Amino acid sequence: MFQHSASQSSGSVRRSLPLATLHGSSRNALAGARDVVRDTALGTTDVLGGAAKALLTPAGVVGAAIEVAWLSTHLALYPFGLVGRPDGHKGHGYSLQELPPVQRGLVIGDVEAAGTPILLVHGMIDNRSIFTLLRRGLVRRGFGRVVSINYSPLTTDVRVAAARLAEEVEALVAETGYERIHVVGHSLGGLIARYYVTHLGGDSRVHTLVTLGTPHGGTFNAYALPSNLCCQLRPGSTLMRELSSAVPSCRTRFVAYWSDLDQMVFPQRNARLVHPDLTIRNVEMHAVGHMSLPISGNVVHGISTTLAHLGADGSLLTAGVTELNPPSRRS
């Protein structure tokens, strides 16, 4: 009788152990989930607080007003960006005496910088009209070949779009005779160009890649739609992990502009580019909306300065110009 009772008791203990373990595992899982939710909430509050802080400043109010005004103007220009061939300049085609002083100075100071093609790549569901003011600003500063192109608004894969960008770059290289060009990408356009440069051998063609409001670290806004493209733009996606993989031999230099008032990249700091193998300079803008980045005077000036004075080896050609961080001092 004692043995039977002991046996029953022992069996009861053996049966209860897995249940206790299960309860313990459940408690640990719940605690872990609670921590994740708490950390996410704190991070979201921090980001929203930063964005609200930026908006509630005089500069933020002005920036928001400019964003709304430019968005209205861009919508009016949008149809014109859909028609015609890719625009661009095939060189100055006139004597130096006819050039304004700024253009003349660039051409005389560095003929190669003035002639190196600059390719502008727009963002999601957009077209080259977003670069109307940026393109004019670069031309006024002496750059003779500024080309803006369109890719399909129905694009569903960054990798496919990057392969098509490679074709556009090769066509531009063949047309102009320049073996390396510069690329400026707005929003998704910057991510497409980055994939081309780092994973399709584009670093042999692209000297400098400038990105404007590009979700290098993904954006939580991409959870709003279930499309394949939006899935790729989510933080931690397969594409994001692929882009963060090692690219030790990449020769392209990167400049990433990001703004604390960017309403499309969330959190805003994800528009910074951070990668141990790349030469990067991150430039923070204050109170500039996502769509306003290509029309910001500071952005136009910064791009012009970088492309006009950056030598083939990354060294400065003019004193006083902000240098891109060398590999040992990446930001």
pLDDT tops 60 at residue 26: no
Q: Tell me whether residue 68 is in a domain.
A: no
Examine residue 71 and state whether it is found in any structural domain, yes or no: no
Residues 34 and 81 in one domain: no
Asked if the model's pLDDT at residue 278 lies above 80, the reply is: yes
Q: For position 310, what pLDDT does the model report?
A: 53
Determine the average pLDDT of the residues in 300-307: 91
Each residue's pLDDT tens digit, 311-329: 545 444 443 334 444 444 3
Q: Which domain holds residue 51?
A: 1-56
- Is 70 within the bounds of a domain? no
User: Do 259 and 306 lie in a common domain?
Assistant: yes
Say if residue 133 is in the same domain as residue 25: no
Instruction: List C-alpha distances in Å: 236 to 46, 219, 240.
Output: 20, 10, 6
Q: For 59-63, 135-139, 248-252, 299-303, which range has the lowest pLDDT when averaged over its residues?
A: 59-63
CATH number of the domain that 229 lies in? 3.40.50.1820
Distant-in-sequence contacts of 131-135, Cβ < 8 A, 24+ apart = 131/184, 131/186, 131/294, 132/77, 132/81, 133/294, 133/295, 133/300, 134/184, 134/294, 134/295, 134/299, 134/300, 134/303, 135/87
The number of distinct structural domains making up the chain is 2
State both tokens at 90: 């095939």
- Please give the average per-residue pLDDT across 145-155, as a whole number: 91
pLDDT of residue 52: 66
Q: Are residues 152 and 299 in the same domain?
A: yes
Q: What is the pLDDT of residues 95-112, one digit of tens each?
A: 444 545 555 445 444 556
Does 188 lie in the same domain as 227?
A: yes
- In contact, 153 and 79? CB cutoff 8 Å: no
Residues 231 and 111 in one domain: yes
Q: How many CA atoms lie within 13 A of 94 on its CB side?
A: 9
Is the overall model pTM greater than 0.85, yes or no? Answer: no
pLDDT at 226: 93
- pLDDT at position 79 is 79
Q: What pLDDT was estimated at residue 73?
A: 82
pLDDT tier, 281 (very low <50, low <70, confident <90, very high otherwise): very high
Q: Is the domain of 86 the same as that of 19?
A: no
pLDDT digits (tens, 9 = 90+) for 31-88: 554 544 454 444 454 455 556 666 667 777 777 888 788 778 878 877 777 775 555 5
249 lies in a domain? yes
Torsion, CA 16, CA 22, CA 26, CA 32, rounded to 10: 120
pLDDT of residue 69: 84
Q: At 30, is the pLDDT very low, low, confident or very high (cuts 50, 70, 90)? A: low
Q: Examine residue 188 and state whether it is found in any structural domain, yes or no.
A: yes
Q: What is the pLDDT of residue 153?
A: 86
Buried b / exposed e across 259-283, counting CB within 10 Å, b at 16+?
bbbbbbbbbbbbbbbebeebbbbbb
Query: 118 and 7, same structural domain?
Result: no
Average pLDDT, integer, range 157-183: 95
Q: Is residue 61 part of a domain?
A: no
Higher pLDDT, 277 or 88: 277
pLDDT score at 114: 74
Residue 89 domain-assigned (yes or no): yes
Question: Does 15 have pLDDT greater than 50?
Answer: no
Same domain membership, residue 292 and residue 168 = yes
Asked if residue 109 and residue 9 are part of one domain, the reply reads no
Verify that 21 and 109 share a domain, yes or no: no
> 285: closest CA among 304, 310, 257?
257
To the nearest whole number, what is the mean pLDDT of the chain?
78
Predicted confidence (pLDDT) at residue 309 exceeds the cutoff of 70: no
pLDDT tens digits, 73-88: 878 877 777 775 555 5
Are 106 and 211 found together in one domain? yes
Determine the Cα angle at 251 with ends 246 and 255, to 5°: 90
Q: Is residue 63 part of a domain?
A: no
Q: What is the pLDDT of residues 223-276, one digit of tens each?
A: 999 999 999 999 999 999 999 999 999 999 999 999 999 999 999 999 999 999
